[in-house]
Each structure stands twice: as C-alpha cells, then as structure tokens.
C-alpha cells in the first residue's frame, strides 16, 4: 500500500428539495384546501476516523464527494425523501484543514470520532405550512436551501508514543526492526527510508508505538533532501529518540544539525523531551566509544546511551527510559531526556 499523508478534496452537501404547491381535489369534498408537502433535506458530508487505515492514498484517486439533494415535496402532504449523507473515512490522527491549509477544522485522534464538514440544505416548506385563518388557500412554497460547497485538506499525523530522528544512515530503521514488529527497508545508502514506519515496541511486559521517519540533513527546513515534510508524524510523540551515528567523524555537528532542523520546524518539536543514543557501537573500539560519548554528552548537555541496533547492545536500557518518559515518570539519572 502506498503512503500518502496529504490530500486535497472537494466536497458539497446536498441542497434541500423545494416545497410543493398543491390543493386537495377530491369528489364530493368542496373545500379541499392546500396539501403541498415539504421538500426533503439535503445530505450532509461527514468525516470519520476509522481503525485499520494508515494512509490517505484512497483520496488520490477520488477527490470529489457530493452528497445527494433532497427530493421536492409532493401533494397529499407527502414530504420529499432526504438525500443520503456521505462519510469520508480517514485514518486516526488526520487533521481537517480549511482551504488555506492553516485553519484546523477538526483533529481526529480517536477511533469513531465523527465531524460534519458540510451541512445539507433544509427542505423548503410546502403551501400547507402557510395556511392560516386569514389565508386559507396559500399558493406559494419555499425553495430548498442550497448545499454547501468547499475545498478542504486532509493531513495525516501518525499516532505514535515515541519518534526516531537522526541523519540518514544513523541506523533508525535497523533500530526499529530490532526492537519492534516493523520490517522497514534497510540498506547501506542514505534515504533508504522514504516514508514513515510504525512499530509496536515491547519492554518489561509493556508496549508502546514508535515511529521512524526519513532522515534529516542540514537545510532540511529549506527543502533539502526530503525536507521536513514528515516531521509532522512525530509532533504527537511524547518523546524523541535521537540516534547519532557513532562511526561518524563529526558527531557534534551531526547532533546539532538535527536539533537545528527540529527547532526550525516548530517550537513544539524543539522543546519536546529527547533521549540521545550513540549508535553502531559494534563498529567502534572502546576508546572511540569513550571519546565520542564524552563529546556527545558535552554537546547535548546530558547523558548518552551507547547502543547497537545490529548487535542488540544497550537496547533494553534505552527502551526503558523511553517508556518512563511516555508514562511521565522520572527517567534514570544516567539515561534521561535533556534539553540541548
């Protein structure tokens, strides 16, 4: 299944049916009077968060959603049929934005959450509604109310408890595959990960969801590489795991590059709790590990985990700290989140 996290759709609710002008005509009944029925209401357009979806790809192939209009009223006091509603089914975590792509109409974060986007028009009154003591034979009826037409954007932000960030080839996909049920693509070239991946992580009998997004590079906030288009998927996370490639000769610069891009994207990500880990320790000797860990601690201003996704070293400790942070508990002193 292809991944799509932004879609533009056009919606229109149904118009109300017009009221009917009709008079009762029946043998041996001299004064039948008005009997025009009301028009039916137009169908509305709804959006609902459903389980089992993690992409907006369906909205690439269908962008127009028009609800049906109500039927006109009829004689013998018959009301027109109400138009059928249309429901847009989207993944949990979808934001509904107005045409300006900034105004948030709704944020669907729970399964079953349902919001109306365009109300159907009311049906017009038939002439029976206008009968009064002074107007016994009204010859007018109301037209139905017109439907609402609008353009909206659907923007998906995956629901995850923890997010993985780092430069390309920092080992994020390898880490996610080692600690979860996810099977992301893993290769020895940059930008192996082109779309976000989700995995369920288990630690000490508990579970949480972790998201891996494509790597960031210097200038990502200006559109370089894959840019920052996928950072929205870690905005909802309670903690970020910042992986730094231990085999790099520019560890401090690598760390600061990611921090700069996170802060350039939004204050929310810049201030979010972060846990830093020096990855690929299996490819370094003890002296390199010691020197580079010290340099990274100085740059980050806090403790650093030493791990290896390939060899499985240090994974449980960092997962425990992530889970403690998600639960709002104080992390271990030697492995807690800190501010850059």
Q: Binding site: which residues?
A: 166-173, 191-195, 212-215, 279-282, 308-310
Residue 128: helix, strand or coil by DSSP?
helix
Contacts of 172 (CB under 8 A, 6+ apart): 164, 165, 166, 193, 212, 215, 243
Q: In whole angstroms, give the CA distance from residue 172 to residue 279.
A: 9
Task: Report which of 241, 265, 129 is spatially closest to residue 178, judged by C-alpha positions.
Answer: 241
Give which of 296, 321, 315, 179 is closest to 240, Cα–Cα.
321
SS3 223: coil
Classify residue 73 by burial, with Cβ atoms within 10 Å: 0-12, 13-18, 19+.
buried
d(CA 309, CA 294): 20
User: Residue written as tokens 């029976």?
Assistant: 128
State how far the alpha carbon of 125 is from the alpha carbons of 15, 71, 120, 228, 255, in Å.
Answer: 14, 12, 16, 53, 68
Distance CA 2, CA 206 (A): 30
Nearest to 230 by CA among 8, 3, 1: 3
Q: In whole angstroms, what separates CA 78 from the centre of its chain?
A: 44
Q: How far apart are CA 220 and CA 215, in angstroms?
A: 9
Instruction: Yes or no: say if 242 and 277 are a contact pair by the CB < 8 Å rule.
Output: yes
Residue ranges for the known binding site for Mg(2+) are: 173, 193
Q: Are 126 and 19 in contact (CB under 8 A)?
A: yes
């Amino acid at each position: 299944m292809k991944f799509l996290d932004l879609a533009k759709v056009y919606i229109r609710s149904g118009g109300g049916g017009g009221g009917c002008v009709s008079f009762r005509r029946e043998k041996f009944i001299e004064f039948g009077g008005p009997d025009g029925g009301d028009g039916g209401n137009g169908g509305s357009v709804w959006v609902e968060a459903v389980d089992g979806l993690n992409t907006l790809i369906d909205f690439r192939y269908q962008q127009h959603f028009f609800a049906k209009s109500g039927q006109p009223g009829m004689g013998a006091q018959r009301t027109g049929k109400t138009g059928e509603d249309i429901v847009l089914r989207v993944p949990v975590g979808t934001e509904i934005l107005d045409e300006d792509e900034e105004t948030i109409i709704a944020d669907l974060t729970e399964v079953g959450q349902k919001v109306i986007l365009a109300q159907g028009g009311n049906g017009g009154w038939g002439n029976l509604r206008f009968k009064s003591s002074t107007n016994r034979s009204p010859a007018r009826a109301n037209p139905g109310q017109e439907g609402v037409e609008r353009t909206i954007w659907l923007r998906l932000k995956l629901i995850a408890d923890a997010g993985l960030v780092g430069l390309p080839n920092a080992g994020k996909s390898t880490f996610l595959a080692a600690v979860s049920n996810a099977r992301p693509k893993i290769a020895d070239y940059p930008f192996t990960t082109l779309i976000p991946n989700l995995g369920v992580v288990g630690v000490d009998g508990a579970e949480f969801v972790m998201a891996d997004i494509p790597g960031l590079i210097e200038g990502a906030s200006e559109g370089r590489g894959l840019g920052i288009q996928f950072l929205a998927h870690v905005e909802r996370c309670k903690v970020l795991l910042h992986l730094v490639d231990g085999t790099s000769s520019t560890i401090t610069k690598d760390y600061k590059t990611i921090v700069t891009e996170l802060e350039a994207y939004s204050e929310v990500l810049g201030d979010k709790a972060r846990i830093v880990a020096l990855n690929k320790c299996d490819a370094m000797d003890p002296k390199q590990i010691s020197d580079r860990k010290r340099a990274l601690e100085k740059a980050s201003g806090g403790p650093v985990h030493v791990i290896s996704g390939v060899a499985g070293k240090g994974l449980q400790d960092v997962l425990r700290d992530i889970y403690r942070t998600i639960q709002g508990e104080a992390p271990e002193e030697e492995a807690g989140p800190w501010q850059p």
